Structure 1
Amino acid sequence: MPNSTLFQFEREQMHPATDRSEPTLWLKRLVILSTLNSDSIIRDIKFRRGLNIIQTHHMQVQGGPVAGHSVGKTLMMRLIRYTLGENQFGSEETQNNIAAVLKTAWVVGHWSIAGADWIVVRPMNEAAAKESFAADSDDWKQVVDSQLKEHSHRHFVQMVSDAVLSNLPKFNLPRGREAKWLDVLAWLSRDYQCGYRKANEWRHEDANSGPSLNLEDNSLIMQWVMGLMNTDEIEQRVNHHELLNNCKGQKQTHDREQKRMDTLWPALRDKLELKADIEVTGIQKTMNSVDPVDIVKEKIASLERLRTERLAESRIKEFESEQHTVQDQIADTEATVRTCKNMVQYIEKQIEEIERDPLHPYRLCKAEPECWMKKQAETMAHDPGAAEHVADLRNQIDEQQKTCTFSHNEKKTLQKSLEVVNKQLKEERSRLAIEISGIDEKIGFLKGLEDDSTKIQALAISVERSTKDALKAEREIEGSLKKQEAIRQKHRNEVRQLSDVYQGILQEIFGVEDESTVRIDGNGLHPVPNRKLAPGGAALSVMTSVLSFDIACLAGSIYGIGQHPRFLMHDSPREGDMEGPLFQRLFEIVHELEAKFTNPDHISFQYIVTTTSAPPQALADENGPYVRLTLDARSEEGKLLGITF
């Protein structure tokens, strides 16, 4: 193997940071057991610092079974992730199939976490996952056989989280929750189903890996882990996220209220008989806007004035006055008739008294001496003026009867006049009632529009305010982006150094000078490969945008940039159409990183990669230090679990 040539082009030489003498976490051993007993080993895989290759048997002749696939490479990577805290170790189908044939299988991981040895034991059965446990020990057999459950698996995951994240500032994702260890693990151990298409695409729904972040959040996680996001920027990002939410809320409010306005105003405008181009006055009045509340009030006031005028113009009072006068006159004639009739009756009684025989009551009287009353009656019977008096009374009766007849006739005339007045009054009342009813109906209709007008008015003011608020929010977002950019400028040196590492790796792969770089923007950290390196084709894009970038971030942490834990796994990263020499060069570059350490015990990273393609010959010795396991589909023994599931 040649000496390290990484950064052989003219650029500043970088060296491993002296204060980073081992990975933050690295896997020493992975053991798969058929039962919870150290003697029931299905597979025992030892790992090392630096490069670890899990390869498959490479067939030399055609025919026979496919030797590189369905042997357990991905399952092994998922079991490693499972020991680090993921809830699943495969698709639902895979887990069910394994559980059906290996009902009591366990996986054991021997990890170094911040220099401390840990043994993690987890059942390969979802129903028994809660039985996982851990112990701070370097003897996995003792832990398994004694079932030394010193700590819960959750406690172990917390230890990993503390070790990886302790030197990073607290960071809340745009969705609001705090970034956590499993978010970082997703970057360090991509699902192969993602196809290594994008640097910020880590999890695939078919892999059953659990909840995942979106691509933008992933870019922010990379920026955060690489130490390119300080507390000021995190605080600004939190503020920026709030501004984005606020702006989104303002726009949603504006759009919702504008939609209501567009729906309600045309109907109200038509009811108010306004022109189609008239708008509602908001906070400020314009030449082409009106206040619907004022319009309604003005129309109601106008109708109420018209109502008062129509009532004043009405002849109802005139007819009612005339009606009362005629009624009084009729009452007077009726009173006159009654008086006359009473007088006639009275006079007739007088006449009757005069003409009646005054001796009649005394004719049978036998009193002796003769009754004085009878003598008085005889005197009255021979009164010479009685006849004249009766004649005078009869003349009075005639006068009274004439007066009664006149009054009776006058009453008939007055009654006819009353009928005319009553008819006029009824017609006037009917006419006025119809006219007033029409006016009242319009007033009632307009009063019914008062609430709508008030709501529309308030809506117009709200729309205008939300428009201003949305514009203000957009200006605040623009200002926030400028502040973030100013803060990011503080990391220019670290970004330049990481870009140098990225360029160096791509130059070593492609053998030409390169201008690729990494960029930080408002959406996080991104690789920006030189398009000339990969003018077309997904395979080259995988190399330039994903694999080389991941290795660059690993190398950057080796050199002291950021807080990458210097642990990285790639599951079958080579695409079918990637040129073999390019893919092999990736192994050589990782090996060259390892060669930078003069003391093997100070190698500060671990890279685990599975491959169906042959690694470079110098690294492919199955008995050598780099190939940790060779799987083979031609026999059951060659598969990871020793069985087909």
Structure 2
Amino acid sequence: MAIDDLFNNTVTQPKVWIERISLFESINLPPFREIFFKPGLNIIWAEETDDAGKNGTYQFGHGVGKTSLCRLMRYCLGEKFYAPRRLKDQVVAAYPKGYVAAKVWINGETWAVAKPLGTHKKSYFAKGGDISTLFAIEQKHSKEEYHNVLHRGVFGSDDYLTLPAGGQRITWEHLLSWCARDQEAHLDDFSVWRSLRSESDSPVLNRPKKDPVEMVRICLGYVELDELKLQKACRCLEREKDALEKKVEQTGQQPRFFHSEYVARVKRQLTVTKNIPVFNIQRSSPPTDLVGLAEAKIEKDQLDIEREKEVLTELDQQRVVATSKVSRISERLEQLEAIVDFNKDQNSGIEKELKKKQQLKARLKNLPDRDCDLGNIPLNKCEYALKYRERLTLDTKQQIGECEEDYHDRLKLIDEHSKRVVSVKQEQREAQKEYFKINSRFHEQDSKVRELESTLKNLESDLSELKRYDEVVNGRADNDDFVTAKKELKQKQKSLKKKQDQLKLAKQQQVGKAGVLNSYLNALADTVYSGLQGRVVLDDIARPFQLLGPGGEAFHALEVILGDLSAALFATHQPIIHPGFIIHDSPREADMGDNLYRGYFRMLIKMGKAMQKKSCYPIQYIVATTTMPLDGEGEEEFIRHRLHATSEDGLLFKRHLHEVGEGLFSESSSKGESP
């Protein structure tokens, strides 16, 4: 296949591509830098020059902003950060109110996007808008709306694809990481898209070694949704089959193991130490086999339990009688104590009344030494007063006698009933003692019966299990658990085989797609270097796109580059998931060698001209480089922007962003990297 044939019967423009990038010092000022792009091939050249620059140093293409430009494009396509913190702090210091804006095409519709470089937090998104009017448009859209449009534009719907292992969702941000790799990743490994040094905070896949290639397979249609479901079903069935195989093995070994276990348990309960047969078909009396001895023991224990239960019943009846006796005595005691308490209360009242009478008697005996109020004579000589005293004295004396008599009668009654209380209390103590004795015997007997019943129950259970396993071990019965487990395993193996056959058929149906993708890789590889062959092996997580020929390390970077390009071109002919947008930041001559690097750029120029010839631009390919290996071979028309360090105007941000005291080249620049 010739490279021109890659663009037959294909879409006319990418699903996603960038037309313009603009840098603003402030939204109130016109842009200080604008870079225009086209669908098709776009080269960003950070020129090297032999001219002496500032302070007499030679200026190279490093540190002028080509990687920053690539990061800004990713930033406008939804990435969270546009630079590592160290460089971002320098940009913020230079442009505290700065913005980057982009005109983005998504499925034939334009979006104007502006995001802050400095301290501002507000971003601007407008469908159908233009950068020149973006900041003044009242009707704007949200970041979520913009990201949803990107997702729908590439994935074809709001639905998410998921990775088979773990069920992780594939998002637009994952796809952007693949299509616009970190410069720090050096194109060394197809599966490595982001470097921690870039501080992009892009979402990562759960299994970094396996999931990137698995995601590519899914996006390129090598794994259809039905195939994903079949893979998941096969994994589930394999786990269930493994569990059933263990169950079959265990249930097959269980009868002999448990047979020995229950023989030992029954012998312990029967205190049998010698070896005797477990079961004799011909029964004898007395029995000589373990089962017969156990059955005899069970029969004897059942009789013993019945006798002990009769004793327990009798004790329970005695306990009822003793309880009733204690209750009757307690009632009599309460009555006697109540009589004693009543008489004591009455005597207390009599004592108080008697005291009052005696005090009155004393007062009557000694009349006051004063005159009578009526007769005007002394009281002790008043006839009327003396007669009244005599009469009152007689009444008081009589009342005192009656009180004393009543008091002494009650004392006798109290003494009599108190003695009866003492006697009844003694009777109560003896009755309670008798009850406690009977109750203790009852509980001892109850415990004895419970222990006998528990021992009998254990023996009956163990004997039942021993009989069951003895029948299985000696072939008199089937191992039901084993038979059931084998049936379940056979059915599960059948289900698994059916799903595996369906999965195999689904994978075979992908062979046609593999052939097409392989032809794209071969066309690109042969254009880079005549005779160089490509082979697509998407089951190989280390090298899914392989180049065959003399090489070594030089082929690693080229395999990654041509793999990305083949996938993008393949997507233009198939209804699969790819934006048609690729950024390769600084593919290095050192990684490919002079001939391959020059062949790579010649292939790019041929690819760009082929798209021009057919007026068909299904992809946008942006490559940023410090070395242009071609001279006068048609590369000029594809160079969209030149960056250089001979003056500040040649720098992306039109000023040096290095920290005070830092040289012209940053630490990253000294390693051949651009900030």
Instruction: Sort the TM-score into its range (normalised by shorter chain).
Output: 0.5 to 0.7
Structure 1 residues 236, 19: CA separation in 2 closer, same or farther (over 3 Å shift)?
closer
Aligned counterpart for 2:88 among listed residues 95, 111, 117: 95
Distance 1:587 1:156 in 2: 34
8 Å CA contact retained: 2:643, 2:651: yes
Distance 1:76 1:219 in 2: 27
SS of residue matched to 1:590:
helix
CA offsets 1:48-70 (integer angstroms, 9 cap, x no match): 12111112121337982562222
How many equivalent pairs are there?
Answer: 473
Of the candidates 2, 11, 14, which is equivalent to residue 7 of structure 1?
2
1:532 maps to which residue?
A: 549
| Alignment of structure 1 residues 385-464 onto 2, 5 Å | none
SS in structure 2 of the partner of residue 602 of structure 1 = coil
Match in the other structure for 1:84: 77
Query: Contact 2:174 / 2:203 at 8 angstroms: preserved in 1?
Result: no
Select 2:203's aligned residue among 202, 211, 215. 211
Distance change in 2, residues 1:638/1:513 (3 Å): closer
SS of equivalent to 1:583: helix
The CA distance in 2 between the partners of 1:615 and 1:477, in whole Å, is: 56
Contact residue 173 and residue 203 of structure 2 kept, 8 A? no
Q: Any idea what SS the aligned residue of 2:41 has?
A: strand
Counterpart of 2:21 (choices 23, 26, 30) is 30
**2:251 aligns to what?**
283
Contact 2:40–2:611 (8 Å) recurs in 1: no
Aligned residue identity for 2:153: A
Q: Is the 8 A contact 2:528 2:602 kept in 1?
A: no
Distance of 1:625 and 1:165 partners within structure 2: 33
AA aligned opposite 1:45: I
Pair 216,300 (structure 1): closer, same or farther in 2 beyond 3 Å = same
1:577-616 matched pairs, under 5 angstroms = 577-597=591-611, 602-616=616-630
User: Where does residue 60 of structure 1 map in the other structure?
Assistant: 50
1:151 counterpart SS class: coil
Give RMSD over aligned pairs: 4.7
Q: How does 1:208-607 map to 2 (within 5 A)?
A: 208-209=199-200, 210-213=202-205, 214-229=208-223, 233-241=224-232, 243-244=234-235, 282-285=250-253, 289-290=257-258, 294=262, 297-299=265-267, 301-303=269-271, 480=499, 482-512=501-531, 514=533, 516-521=534-539, 527-534=544-551, 536-537=552-553, 539-544=554-559, 546-559=560-573, 562-574=576-588, 576-597=590-611, 602-607=616-621
- How far residue 133 of structure 1 moved from its aligned partner, in angstroms, is 2.1
> Aligned to 2:72, what secondary structure does the other structure show?
helix
Secondary structure of the structure 1 residue equivalent to 2:632: helix
* 1:114 maps onto 2:107 in alignment: yes
Which letter does structure 1 place at the counterpart of 2:187? Y
Instruction: Quote how far apart the aligned CAs of 1:248 are.
Output: 6.2
Identity of aligned residues (%): 20
In the superposition, the TM-score normalised over structure 1's length comes to: 0.62
> Residue 528 of structure 2 contacts residue 600 of structure 2 at CA under 8 Å; is this kept in 1?
yes
Q: Residue 21 of structure 1: which of 12, 19, 33 is its match?
A: 12
CA deviation map 1:360-402 (0-9, x unaligned): xxxxxxxxxxxxxxxxxxxxxxxxxxxxxxxxxxxxxxxxxxx
Q: Distance between the aligned counterparts of 1:494 and 1:543, measured in 2?
A: 22
- How much has 1:294 moved relative to structure 2? 3.0
CA contact 1:494–1:561 (8 Å) conserved in 2: no
Superposed displacement of residue 599, structure 1: 5.7
Q: 1:176 corresponds to which residue?
A: 167
For 2:22 and 2:220, the matched residues in 1 are separated by 32
Structure 1 residue 36, shift from structure 2 partner: 1.7
Moved more, 501-510 or 626-635: 626-635
1:91–1:207 contact (8 Å) kept in structure 2: yes
Distance 2:186 2:519 in 1: 26
The answer for unaligned runs of 5 or more in structure 2 is 272-293, 304-447, 470-479, 659-675
- State yes or no: 1:643 paired with 2:656: yes
Distance 1:73 1:579 in 2: 22
> Matched residue of 1:197: which SS?
coil
What is residue 149 of structure 2 aligned with on the other side? Answer: 159
In the TM superposition, residue 531 of structure 1 has moved relative to its aligned partner by 3.8
Q: Per the alignment, do residues 245 and 194 of structure 1 end up closer, same or farther by CA in structure 2, a change over 3 Å counting? A: farther
1:121 deviates by 0.9
TM-score by length of 2: 0.59
Once structures 1 and 2 are overlaid, which stretch shifts more, 298-307 or 210-219?
298-307
Flag the 1:14–1:463 CA change in 2: closer, same or farther, 3 A. farther
Residues 100 and 114 in structure 2, CA contact (< 8 A), matched pair in contact too = yes
Contact in 2 for aligned 1:25/1:111 (Cα 8 Å): yes
* Alpha-carbon distance between aligned partners in 1 of 2:572 and 2:184, rounded to the nearest angstrom: 28
Q: 1:464 to 1:499 in 2, by over 3 A?
A: farther
Q: Provide the C-alpha distance between the structure 2 equivalents of 1:466 and 1:171, rounded to a whole number of angstroms.
A: 37
Aligned-partner residue type, residue 488 of structure 1:
K
Pair 52,487 (structure 1): closer, same or farther in 2 beyond 3 Å: same
CA 501–15 in structure 1, closer or farther in 2 if over 3 Å, else same:
closer
**Counterpart Cα distance in 2 of 1:610 and 1:465:** 67
Structure 1 counterpart of 2:61, which letter?
Answer: G
Q: In 2 relative to 1, CA 500–64 (structure 1 residues): closer, same or farther, beyond 3 Å? A: same
Answer whether contact 1:56 1:68 (CA < 8 A) is retained: yes
Aligned to 1:391: none
Distance 2:173 2:104 in 1: 16
